[in-house]
Amino acid sequence: MKICISVIGLEAWFGGDFAALAELVRIADRKGVDQVSAVDHVVMGENLAAYPYGKFPGSIDAPWIEPMIQLATFASVTERISLATGIVIAPLRPAAVLAKQIATLDVLSHGRVDIGLGVGWQKEEYDACGVPWENRFEVLAEQVEACKALWAGAPAAYAGKHIRFERTYSLPLPPRGAKTPIWFGIAPMAKNIERIARLGDGWLPMERDPQKLAEPIARIRAAFAAAGRDPGELQVRASYRIERDAGGKPDLDATLAATRAYADVGVTVLRAEPAVFCRGPEDYEPFLDRVLAHRG
């Protein structure tokens, strides 16, 4: 089991200084954490009730730093930890710009990018960026195809319904070319499962209950097989379900006890959240030690 660390909210330990997070990621890299994840919101609208996964876990005025720039900062102070997103809202960026951002980060980190892509949930973000909300899932799939074309070599060409280019040069190429890993953060509906199996390497579920993850993971694996791919290659990064004690306080030991249950249903990476369990930086390294001890 691989371990991913989320940096959401950790800037609060340093008076809102996001630059201080680089040292936390450097420590995680030194201790053997496998992955660090960043998140994306270009803007926030006021309709938080539209969040489709229950109560939105944040406030309307929370700061959201641009994830690709943040991960580039992390790349400069680390050697082995993989750099992930959960997610980049891909349709808000033109396909060629997205391909260039990912390729640049992968070049600078010597091939350590595990990019997570999705469509988000706020129409307000699309409106603010001048991007149509409609057909966003189609655009996402074409973006991935276009990125793969640009990463495979130059000149590149792609002809889709929403994206088109020919004899286009986008250099430098990422170290792994068109095989740069792409994880989809999209709901496990039939069309999305087909997209994951055809274009992706991993899935980022919102569901945290390991028992509820078994069925969709099985369906994605079956789709891999139907597409002629090895189902065993599917990567799944889930977030630990936060368990609480009788007083409502987050219970780290009870939370980590479910590690084996996630592995049993096909989760390959578990995302842990220091902001939930740590009072401040003084708790951070002991937290990492306890999480890594359950990696197996």
Residues in Cβ contact with 120 at an 8 Å cutoff, skipping those fewer than 6 apart: 40, 41, 87, 89, 92, 126
Q: What is the CATH number of the domain that holds 138?
A: 3.20.20.30
Residue 58 pLDDT: 85
Q: How many Cβ atoms sit within 10 Å of the Cβ of residue 126?
A: 21
Length of the chain: 296
Over range 214-232, report the average pLDDT.
Answer: 98
Over range 195-221, report the average pLDDT.
Answer: 98
- Distance (Å, rounded) from C-alpha 285 to C-alpha 275? 13
What is the rounded average pLDDT for all residues in the chain?
97
Does residue 20 surpass a pLDDT of 80? yes
Residue 295 pLDDT: 85
Distance of CA 118 to the CA centre of its chain: 9
Looking at the 3D structure of the chain, how many domains does it have?
A: 1
47-51, 106-110, 261-265, 282-286: range with lowest mean pLDDT: 47-51
Over range 70-77, report the average pLDDT.
Answer: 98
Residue 282 pLDDT: 98
Does residue 296 surpass a pLDDT of 90? no
Task: Note down the domain range covering 103.
Answer: 2-293
Residue 41 pLDDT: 95
Q: Which long-range contacts (CB under 8 A, 24 or more apart) does 29-32 make?
A: 29/77, 29/78, 29/79, 29/80, 29/81, 31/285, 31/288, 31/289, 31/292, 32/292
DSSP assignment of 229-267: --GGG-EEEEEPPPPB-TTS-B-HHHHHTTHHHHHHHT-
